Structure formats: structure tokens, C-alpha cells
């Protein structure tokens, strides 16, 4: 199909997207001599040859390492490499790597330019897009960070062939989320296919990824700083994040459980139909995502009280009106706690 390009203009800059581009294309975007790659040990181990000749900082993989201590390590390594304000930083990895790279680049010397090469389904369709960068603080996800856009995103789909099946499944949670909140037609398309269908058809996969990139990018262009519609992207995440940080679940798995719960809450207080709720649950199951999980309801409720979407004694919760159409509703904490304890 060849390299396909797109650009999206945000508040401070226009970001270029390069779809189906080989990693080597990076040398046409940045100076190899004046750039530093940040990646994790898993990506580095499976794709060592791609990094030949690049100055590279390697961090440990996993959400547990998305902490300020990792940022401190990255900055100490940048100092050793004599990185200056003209140094370009490239995050090559999944969502943890892109989140932490954008944050480190934004604070190093008060900000240097950066770009991303997302290597997982989840990073390609969600985490690398939109400029949210940051770190967790203990069990509280993304509590510290900022919104700053990369210069570019380069999508080399060959990275996906290195992923275990569970990481493909993990990424499809965000794809199903986009379908639930914005695209009933894509929801129906997903119903007609399976994870295996996309793993085995590179053209079908590329079209799906690029459709999801478009959905998220268009939302963020309209509401970069999350004053309105961007909040819809939090569907499944309020409860999902709290569950994720009290368990060993992957992000997509926790979000899937959060979406199933949000469908129950939507049915309970938002007149979301039981038939459509069942369709969402069945689609999540079809893509081998969990919809039930035994969790500490008291602890999860306490974590939600420090969620960034909190407003005084209530939280802005994303609910479905119907498949392809979501809205935000302010739910008092005491009401949400009752729903969690009685309905989930």
C-alpha cells in the first residue's frame, strides 16, 4: 500500500502521521546524530537490529515502571549523552514508553522536541495520540503530567508481528471503546470479525488502525485540553484505571471490565437498552477480553475519589446512550459507591 500520510493541527502545532512506514524512514525525519531513542527492554530485545547506530536509552517494560524514578533515570542518561535543547527524542514502544518519553522530553531543559514510533496495537490506536504524557504516582494513574503534542508519529506495522496474542487482545479494548462512543458502523464491522482475522490480514488491520487514529485525533483536535468531547475517551477508564492499579491486569483488560461495568451503570441510570448492553458484553467476550473481575469495591471506590475527572463530591462518568453515542453525566460519589456495591 505504501506510506500514507496525514496531518492534524492542534493548538500549538501540526503533527504529521506516517502510516505503514518502515522504521528506517525515521532517518528522513530526524538527524540520527542528534537524536536519542527511548525504548523498553522488551522492544529492544526483539528488534535489536532496528536500533543499530542510534543512541538509545532502555527502560524496564511495564506499567510499574511508569514512575518519576524512571523519568529521573532517563534525564540522567540524557545528561551523560550530552543532550542539549536541539536534541530530538523518540519514544519507540507501547503506551508506557510513549507516555514517559513525552513527559521526559517536555521537562528536560524545559522542553525539547520529540516524536513517537508506537509498537503495540494499544499505543497505535490510543496511547501515542493526543499529547497526554505523564507518570503514575503510586496506585494513582497519570496523576502527574502535561498535554504536549509530538512532532510526528511513525506507524511501522511490522512491530506488531512481535507481539504476543494477549497484547493484540489488550489493544482491541481501546478499539471497541472507540466504536462504542463514536462509531456504530465500526462496532458492526468488529462483530463480523475476530482478533485472528486482523492478525492475519495486514490490509484489514491497517485500515482498522487508521480508522481509530482518525476517530481519536479528530476528537482531540476539537477538544485538546479535555473540556468537552475528549472526556468521552474515558469510557471504561474511570473504574478500569482503579481496577488496573489494584490488580495485575493489563490496561486493556481492566478497561474492558470498566466498559462492561459502565454499560451496567448506563442501563441503571441512563436508559441504555439491555439488548445493546448485551451486544457490547458479547463483543468484548468475542475479542477474548474479560467482562467480570472480583475486586475490592471499597478500595476501588477510594481510588476513584482521586480520579482526575472528580469535581468536588461527584465524578464525571461516561455513559452510553446507545452504541456509537456516549455522553457525560455527573454522578455523586455516594450514588456511584452504591451502584458499585450493589450492581457490580
**pLDDT at site 343:** 65
Let me know: does 18 contact 152? Beta carbons within 8 Å: yes
Q: Which residues are catalytic?
A: 110, 132, 174, 216, 226, 230, 234, 237, 241, 251
Paired sense of beta strands 310-311 and 314-322, if any = antiparallel
**104 and 246: one domain?**
no
Let me know: does 128 contact 116? Beta carbons within 8 Å: yes
Q: How many residues does the chain have?
A: 344
- In tens, the pLDDT along 312-344 reads 889 999 999 999 999 999 999 889 888 887 766
**157 and 201: one domain?**
no
**87 and 152: one domain?**
yes
**pLDDT at site 296:** 84
Task: Supply the CATH number for residue 151's domain.
Answer: 3.40.50.1970
* Structural domain that includes position 316: 169-343
Task: Supply the CATH number for residue 256's domain.
Answer: 1.20.1090.10
Paired sense of beta strands 132-137 and 140-147, if any = antiparallel
**pLDDT at site 309:** 76
**pLDDT at site 163:** 96
Given 114, 146, 162, which residue is the final one in a domain? 162
Strand order from edge to edge, sheet including 114-118: 4-9, 14-19, 152-155, 114-118, 88-93, 35-40, 55-59
pLDDT tens for each residue of the chain, 344 residues long: 689 999 999 999 999 999 999 999 999 999 999 999 999 999 999 999 999 999 999 999 999 999 999 999 999 999 999 999 999 999 999 999 999 999 999 999 999 999 999 999 999 999 999 999 999 998 888 999 999 999 999 999 999 999 999 999 999 999 999 999 999 999 999 999 999 999 999 999 999 999 999 999 999 999 999 999 999 999 999 999 999 988 889 999 999 999 999 999 999 999 999 999 999 999 999 999 999 988 888 888 888 887 877 888 899 999 999 999 999 999 998 898 888 877 66
Amino acid at each position: 500500500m505504501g506510506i500514507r500520510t496525514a496531518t492534524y493541527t492542534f493548538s500549538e502545532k501540526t503533527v504529521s502521521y506516517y502510516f505503514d512506514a518502515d522504521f528506517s524512514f525515521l532517518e528522513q525525519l530526524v538527524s540520527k546524530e542528534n537524536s536519542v531513542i527511548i525504548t523498553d527492554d522488551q522492544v529492544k530485545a526483539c528488534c535489536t537490529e532496528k536500533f543499530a547506530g542510534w543512541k538509545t536509552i532502555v527502560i524496564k517494560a511495564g506499567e510499574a515502571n511508569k514512575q518519576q524514578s524512571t523519568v529521573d533515570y532517563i534525564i540522567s542518561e540524557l545528561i551523560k549523552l550530552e543532550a542539549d535543547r536541539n536534541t530530538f527524542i523518540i519514544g519507540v514502544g507501547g503506551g508506557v514508553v510513549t507516555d514517559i518519553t513525552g513527559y521526559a522530553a517536555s521537562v528536560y531543559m524545559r522542553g525539547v522536541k520529540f516524536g513517537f514510533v508506537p509498537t503495540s496495537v494499544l499505543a497505535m490506536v490510543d496511547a501515542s495520540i493526543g499529547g497526554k504524557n505523564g507518570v503514575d504516582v503510586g496506585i494513582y494513574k497519570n496523576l502527574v503530567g502535561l498535554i504536549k503534542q509530538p512532532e510526528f508519529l511513525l506507524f511501522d506495522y511490522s512491530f506488531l508481528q512481535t507481539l504476543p496474542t494477549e497484547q493484540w487482545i489488550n489493544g482491541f479494548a481501546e478499539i471497541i471503546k472507540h466504536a462504542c462512543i463514536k462509531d456504530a458502523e465500526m462496532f458492526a464491522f468488529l462483530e463480523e470479525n475476530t482478533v485472528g482475522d486482523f492478525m492475519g490480514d495486514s490490509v484489514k488491520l491497517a485500515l482498522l488502525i487508521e480508522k481509530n487514529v482518525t476517530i481519536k485525533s479528530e476528537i482531540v483536535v476539537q477538544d485538546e485540553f479535555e473540556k468537552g468531547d475528549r472526556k468521552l475517551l474515558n469510557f471504561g477508564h474511570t473504574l478500569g484505571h482503579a481496577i488496573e492499579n489494584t490488580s495485575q491486569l493489563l490496561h486493556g483488560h481492566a478497561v474492558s471490565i470498566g466498559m462492561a461495568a459502565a454499560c451496567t451503570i448506563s442501563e441503571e441510570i441512563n436508559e441504555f437498552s439491555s439488548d445493546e448492553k448485551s451486544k457490547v458484553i458479547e463483543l468484548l467476550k468475542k475479542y477474548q477480553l474479560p467482562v467480570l473481575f472480583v475486586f475490592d469495591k471499597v478500595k476501588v471506590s477510594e481510588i476513584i475519589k482521586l480520579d482526575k475527572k472528580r469535581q468536588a463530591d461527584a465524578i464525571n462518568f461516561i455513559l452510553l446512550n446507545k452504541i456509537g453515542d456516549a455522553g457525560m453525566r455527573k454522578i455523586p460519589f455516594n450514588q456511584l459507591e452504591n451502584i458499585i456495591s450493589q450492581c457490580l
